[in-house]
Chain A
Amino acid sequence: MKKILSLLLITALLAAALAGCGGKTGEAEGNTPAAPSASAKTHLNIAADWASVPDIYDLSNSWTCMRIGVTESLVHFGEDCSYQPWLADSWSVAEDGLTWTFVLHPGIKFSNGAALTATKVKESIEAVYAAQDPAAGGAGDIYTFMEYTSISADDEAGAVTIVTKEPVPDMPGVMAYPLLAITDVAANAERDLLVDGPIGTGPYTVVSYTTDHDYQLAKNPNYWDGEVPFETVSWVCVSEPGSRYQALLDGSADIATHIQASDLPALRDAGYNISIVAGARDGYYHVNFEGPLGNDALRKAVFMAIDDETVCAITTGGSYTAGYTPLAPIYTQWGGEKIPDPAAYNPEQAMKILDDAGITDSDGDGWRELDGKNIELVYVSNTSRQMNEISQAHAALIQAIGVNCRVQTVDSQGEYMRSGSFDMVNSNEMIIPTGDPSNFLSHWYTGSGTGYNYARYSNPEFDRVYEALKPEIDTDKRNEYIAELNRILTEDCVLLLGGYYNFNICSSAAVTGAINPACDFYWLTKDIKPAA
């Protein structure tokens, strides 16, 4: 009897669960976004896809400090990725092309009330270079952007002068990069930086941080650029896109980042604000030139087997826009729209190329061989930003032309990249980290070594143009070189593009100003305000 009762109870529970799941697509249609309350909203809830440590001396974690509105830098990227004043009002370069002077905006204070002086800026930059110094065991990332011979500070004039070792044409962009955000080094020394966060000049300060879970932020009482709209902010890491979507729907979050494209129509219909930017971030694969894909015919056939339009539009639900040039055609100055696709989707042609190159299935096992050996291409892929779905779709399409291919899902691809244990390894990268793609393009420069040139690509023509680009200050000339590099990489089928990522920030009607910037360094800003 008891057993029958248990069975009935379970059946009833299941029926209830099914009833819960059985709603029509996009439950949001029945809901309305949280309406602005009558009283002023003083607390903001953000469901973000990450909450990494507030480590201002680490390349990727420094982004977090800027995204949560704690740190700011001398220069800001505008909507079109142009250089805009931020902590610095202006900047100039001397005729030698090496001496840069940044003049600070007067009256700025750190969140602890200390004045932002030229000396503080100098100390902040020096601290980053010291922490990143490869000779002292540092990661050395910042040295790939710029190396200086001296920095001097003039507190009276509020000017910082940096003399670089070599010409750095994108110097304002380098100073806009989050790793060079300005913090109060002396005050930082008294804090446990990885828990308490740095002392910066941003609109918010860190109250508490729970590792990989949440930031509790409070208004910076000394903020220099107008009134800070919210007294407190909860920035919670919700790693599942579906859960972030749900958090928006049920009102537990006012803002959510990276909502899956398939869920966006329901949000849009329900009146939520959706801000999308495409082009600044590539979801792509480094192709290992030291493996089977070093064979030109095989590589071209593999590229040709990829139906990128379908993968981007259907498999990712529109989270990516299809393309084939490393630098998206929306950046017209880099000539993407003029470069023909050398490997447009054509599986029949791909198979013909393989047959002509003698890459055939001679042992009858269903898979083609290269030089008498079975080919098994390995996609090393993480799950971030739907890259795993793209990898699986690619693998299926490559198998369709008779080339064996499998996906190896990993948490982090870094070790695979450096060791070369891959045929294709995914990356999801900001292509214009300094407003200029030269750092991104150095992935394929032989001078970068295998620690950055993961593809082990070597092309003297590419190297020659890259070396010409590096010191060039003239913008038009730089654009010419970049366009040339864009063409070489495309024609050589060097990087397999998954698509241009359509990054989004969604917000309820309770807030305004949650705008997704072209350079995704700025998420929580002073411009996000309670709806009037």
Chain B
Amino acid sequence: MTDLNQLERDLLSQVDAAGDEAALEAVRVSALGKKGSVSELLKTLGAMTPEERKERGPLINGLRDKVQGAILAKKETLAEAALEARLSAERIDVTLPVPEAPESRGRIHPISQVIEELTAIFADMGFSVAEGPDIETDYLNFTALNFPEGHPAREMHDTFFLAPDEKGERKVLRTHTSPVQIRTMTSQKPPIRVIIPGRTYRHDSDQTHTPMFHQVEGLVIDRQANIAHMKWILEEFCKAFFEVDQVKMRFRPSFFPFTEPSAEVDIQCSRKGGEIRFGEGTDWLEILGCGMVHPNVLRNCGLDPDEVQGFAWGMGIDRIAMLKYGMPDLRPFFEADVRWLNHYGFRPLDIPSLVSGLTS
């Protein structure tokens, strides 16, 4: 009996003393391997009498289980310790930078962003988007829009001309997006509700003018659209676009060859601390021009001004972008300075929508 107890103490202390998996394995082989001390004892069971086996069997098997259990437990402890040791050796400097994600580097130009914003608003009011070429005929840019030949109103437009063709006709870079009004009215039947965003050009360059800029026009033609509707559309647009609950607008009679009556529209604002706020304050800021489509323009499109009527308006996209987002100057819009674009541009996934808001 004593030899079994002794063996158990010896083996358990060897297990305990094993410093690593190899040492533990050596202990296991010495005890439980083919020729191991415990295995040898187990072999003796076969030669025993039933009585002897009844007595010795459980003892020897118990010894085996105990040793086996100890080895397993030790194995886990060692594995734990080994993992511990490995983990304490495996260290990274988490403050090292990762490359900045492309999604956070990319930018959308404010003009593109604002076009998407106003498209979202007008789409909700049932408008679609019409477009036309930048190089226009003199007829569509001026004559069809009721700019008489040689009229001083043409001079207001500082037009870029292309070289005359074989017939002596010279095309122009459109001075406004209004020729698309004509293209729309001659290609589709009323009712018409379109907005027309696009590039426009005037021979003008100073602090507040660039030879290329962006306009958006709106055109509504049906059998009843009048100034009251136009006022509603424009007020709703301004509230939605500038994301304010109230705006105060002032409609001043004015003159455009292609509308009659015509008006210019100012929007009330405050300029406290150099920041423009709409819906408050006492200053007026000119924001757009509008009017009822001139009967001559309707006639030029084959429409009868006694049958159909409608209104149109136009504003500078760059200008409303500046008013909303606070760029002080127009010129940098077209200079592609990445410092400006990073600052005033929009993140790639800031997609304007009326569902989630025009701006995040």
Instruction: Say if A and B assemble together.
Output: no
**B interface residue numbers (CB < 8 A to A):** none
